Chain A
Amino acid sequence: MIYSPLAVKICGVDFKNPVITASGTFAFGFEFSKLFDIDKLGGISVKGVTREKREGNPGPRIAETYGGVLNSVGLQNPGVEVFINNFLPFLQSKKAAVIVNIAGNTESDYCYLAERLSGTGVSMIELNISCPNVKEGGLAFGVKPDTIQSITREVKKRSKKPLIVKLSPNVADIAENARAAEYGGADAVSLINTVRGMAVDADTRRPLLKNITGGLSGPAIKPIALAMVWQVYNAVKIPIIGMGGIMTANDAVEFILCGATAVQVGTGNLINPLTASNIIDGLRKYVEKNKLGNLQEIRGKLLID
């Protein structure tokens, strides 16, 4: 790989920069490719894929809150076979690492998906046990350390791809959960998924989301995400992919200072489709300005007196 001050290897996978688009905000890459050259991205984490096609929740599925966005999409996706046949070939023709976010109702769903995707050209698998918008599965596996450890172990056994476990912030102790994922054999952790939230209209006396509650994302959750990345950094040895409210290169640097090896940009893509691309440019300027050989030199180097 050509030397670049932004390049980083995560679990053996080369990323030309640490900027990955977050699951659920970038579909399977095709739409955004009409607006900018997605070859530029370090990676793409695709919309959560399930065994069978899912319709998701009824609308409205989005509401704006102060500095944030609530969503209750509920994992609408075409199912793993359609993903592999219709969407993966396009993604693989691009120069970004392909991370497949997987979700299921049962442990065997997750295992099936990991096994099925192991036979394809995807770069990594991201175990989504942190979706607050589905009734079964999802968060049910992602709250308690023992279930996190066991599902990670079972999926890891069947996965030939590096396994990222995506952690929920809606838990008692995220550091303990990260450790459980590490014990279970996770190659990396990503955090945070959305924070459970709700919005109400005083005039109509109704919730703004049909689903009543949803997941909060965007700048409003950045302080929560930074604290959690920092806690997890101090608890595990495996790489951390940090996210939550990243809109600018400086936001990304803050996550790296707190210990993240790479970052994901989610809601930022919705606010401006060029956000991820602008962050990559901004990071390049940051390393120049600070005369860094590689951005990774500042990973976890938060200055504390």
Chain B
Amino acid sequence: MKEVFLNVRENTELAKGIVKMKLYCSSLPEFTPGQFVNLSVGNFDGVLLRRPISVYKFNAAESTFEIIFEVKGKGTTFLSRLKGGNIPATLFLGNGFELGANVKKVALIGGGLGCPPLYSVIEKYKASGVKFYTYLGFSSESKAICVDDFSKASEKLTVTTDDGSLGEKNFITNAFKKDIFAVNPDVVLACGPTPMFKALKALNTGIPTFISTEARMGCGIGACYVCTCATLTGNRRVCTDGPVFNLKEVIL
């Protein structure tokens, strides 16, 4: 983990209200897929806290990484307008997704803004021959993101929307359920809203399942205990003990 200044290399609107940013730093620390960055929003119109945002793509050669976020309030509005530099940030934070050497087939399940961090897993493990079966759910076509990237990198991609405007009209966990036996993944990695995690838990697949959780944060480095996640072993810090937890352990 490191405190750095970031420069904005690219800033594009991916979908309505959803921004993709490419950020550069001369000396990026090591990165594990699923980790996040804590970005300063300056001291702007009463907004103070940094915004934790997960990493979509990581490029060591370029010393850049990409993030995708939804413009929701003052903080993200400020970030979406940034050009150039120097944004103070702490990176890379949290435990991230680690795949064991014996994992050959992975099911990725993403919901909305939870999809991007799953792509960083493909980026890292694709070269070592791991196969990815990807399930992405969105509210509607206008909010769909990263579909092309996942489509190119996955053995199979399934997309669902709540309104049927793209792919099947269904919940993404239902689409996954139909495929479980055919795909038979060694591990399931998921990132999305809590109802999606609840649906996933209800599937009771028996397959090791890891979820990337979200919480409002303060420090992002494990020192303030505000980002709590209730687990079978007590309240854990999302920023440091997570954001990735074993689905079995999390009390949803």
Q: How far is the CB of B109 from chain A (nearest CB, A)?
A: 23
A16 at the interface (CB under 8 A from B): no
* A-B contacts, CB under 8 A, total: 104
Q: How far is the CB of A106 from chain B (nearest CB, A)?
A: 23
Contacting A at CB under 8 A, from B207-230, are 215-219, 221-230
Residue interface mask B1-28, A partner, CB < 8 A = 1 = 1110000000000000000000000000
A67 at the interface (CB under 8 A from B): yes
In the complex, A35→B223 CA distance in Å?
A: 12
In the complex, A58→B47 CA distance in Å?
A: 24
B216 touches A270 (CB 8 A): no
In the complex, A61→B40 CA distance in Å?
A: 20
Q: How far is the CB of B239 from chain A (nearest CB, A)?
A: 10
A162 at the interface (CB under 8 A from B): no
Candidate in A55, A56, A59 with the most chain B CB atoms within 10 angstroms:
A59
B40 touches A272 (CB 8 A): yes
Q: How many residues of A contact B (CB 8 A)?
A: 37
A145 at the interface (CB under 8 A from B): no
In the complex, which residues of chain A have a beta carbon less than 8 angstroms from the beta carbon of B84? none
Cβ-neighbour of A270 out of B46, B88, B219 (below 8 A)? B219
B234 at the interface (CB under 8 A from A): yes
In the complex, A273→B46 CA distance in Å?
A: 19
User: Which B residue sits closest to A218, measured CB to CB?
Assistant: B48
User: Which B residue sits closest to A77, measured CB to CB?
Assistant: B225
In the complex, A68→B43 CA distance in Å?
A: 11
In the complex, which residues of chain B have a beta carbon less than 8 angstroms from the beta carbon of A219? 48
User: Which B residue sits closest to A54, measured CB to CB?
Assistant: B235
Contacting A at CB under 8 A, from B37-84, are 40, 43, 46-50, 75
Contacting A at CB under 8 A, from B194-249, are 215-219, 221-230, 234-235, 240
In the complex, which residues of chain B have a beta carbon less than 8 angstroms from the beta carbon of A27? 222-225
**Do A64 and B223 form a contact, CB below 8 Å, given A34-B1, A56-B228, A69-B218?**
no
B235 touches A76 (CB 8 A): yes
User: Which A residue sits closest to B219, measured CB to CB?
Assistant: A270
B225 touches A61 (CB 8 A): yes
User: Which B residue sits closest to A70, measured CB to CB?
Assistant: B226
B90 at the interface (CB under 8 A from A): yes
In the complex, which residues of chain A have a beta carbon less than 8 angstroms from the beta carbon of B49? 62, 64, 69, 270-271
A67 touches B48 (CB 8 A): yes
Candidate in A26, A64, A67, A68 with the most chain B CB atoms within 10 angstroms:
A64
Q: How far is the CB of A58 from chain B (nearest CB, A)?
A: 7
**Do A59 and B221 form a contact, CB below 8 Å, given A35-B3, A64-B48, A272-B88?**
no
In the complex, A270→B48 CA distance in Å?
A: 9
In the complex, A113→B190 CA distance in Å?
A: 43
Q: How far is the CB of A74 from chain B (nearest CB, A)?
A: 9
**Do A36 and B3 form a contact, CB below 8 Å, given A76-B228, A270-B49?**
yes
With A35-B90, A270-B218 given, name 18 new contacts (CB 8 A): A25-B218, A25-B219, A25-B224, A27-B225, A31-B221, A32-B223, A59-B216, A59-B226, A59-B228, A61-B227, A62-B217, A62-B226, A69-B48, A73-B224, A269-B219, A269-B224, A270-B219, A271-B40
Query: Can you list 26 residue pairs at the A/B interface with Cβ under 8 Å?
Result: A25-B218, A27-B223, A31-B219, A47-B225, A55-B235, A56-B225, A58-B228, A58-B230, A59-B226, A59-B229, A59-B235, A61-B216, A61-B228, A62-B218, A62-B227, A64-B49, A67-B46, A67-B48, A69-B48, A69-B218, A71-B226, A73-B224, A73-B226, A76-B235, A269-B219, A269-B224
The 5 closest A-B pairs by CB, nearest first: A62-B226, A66-B46, A27-B223, A270-B218, A59-B228
